Amino acid sequence: MKDKPREDRIIDVNNRGEIILPIGHFAIFNLKSMKNCHPKIVINGLGSCIALIMIDKANKICGMSHILLPSYNELYYNAPLRYPHKYADLAVSDLIEQLENEGAKRVNLKAIIIGGAKIFQNHQNNIGSENIQMIKNELKRFNIDIMSEFTGGNKGRSVIFKTKTISVLLRETHQEKYEKIY
């Protein structure tokens, strides 16, 4: 019996060649097995959320996760966990596992993290900085180096991860054009 596909893994490409990645979802691509389809993975309007990209260049496998909160507390949510990529403490390990299932080697994985802004200046908590810290702690725990980071601040961001060229474009709120950051 084949495993049921995960509802939090996005594979559908729109007519513009994009995968729009909602909160709590992830996408993974084995670029060696892809013939003519090299989608762009897009997250629009990152505020305190984190876009976590992991790349194994040697094996040409990459993935991206859209993370909302720093941690999952089973007692607080009191419901089955359907979207581990919603939580930084679970997303890192699950993304690593999914990448390894596709053939990536953990020793080759490198990370790019984007987001974690403090959008509401008068608000007491700073979920964005908590998200950044949790992601960094988890990446360190798994010995994954961060090769590029665009985090913090007080502006929202939109991200495009081009799987064909393994490049990342970023646009902050009120910017007209995307800039290549990796």
What is the arrangement of strands in the sheet containing 61-67, beginning at the earlier edge strand?
26-30, 61-67, 50-56, 110-115, 145-151
Architecture of domain 18-169: 2-Layer Sandwich (3.30)
Question: What is the model's pLDDT at position 75?
Answer: 61
Question: What is the model's pLDDT at position 161?
Answer: 97
- Determine which one of 19, 43, 46, 49 is catalytic: 49
* Per-residue pLDDT reduced to its tens digit, 56-107: 999 999 999 999 999 987 666 666 788 999 999 999 999 999 999 999 999 9
Query: Strand 40-46 vs strand 18-20: parallel, antiparallel, or unpaired?
Result: parallel
Residue spans of the domains in the chain: they are: 18-169
Is 49 among the residues known to form the active site? yes
> CA-CA distance, 148 to 114, in Å (whole number)?
9
pLDDT > 70? residue 117 = yes
Going from the C-alpha of 151 to that of each of 50, 82, 123, the distances in angstroms are 8, 27, 18
pTM of the model: 0.92
> Do 69 and 47 form a contact (C-beta atoms < 8 A)?
no
Residue linked to tokens 């097995």: 33
Going from the C-alpha of 102 to that of each of 6, 11, 36, 150, 162, the distances in angstroms are 14, 14, 19, 27, 19
Beta-carbon count within 10 A of 128 CB: 24
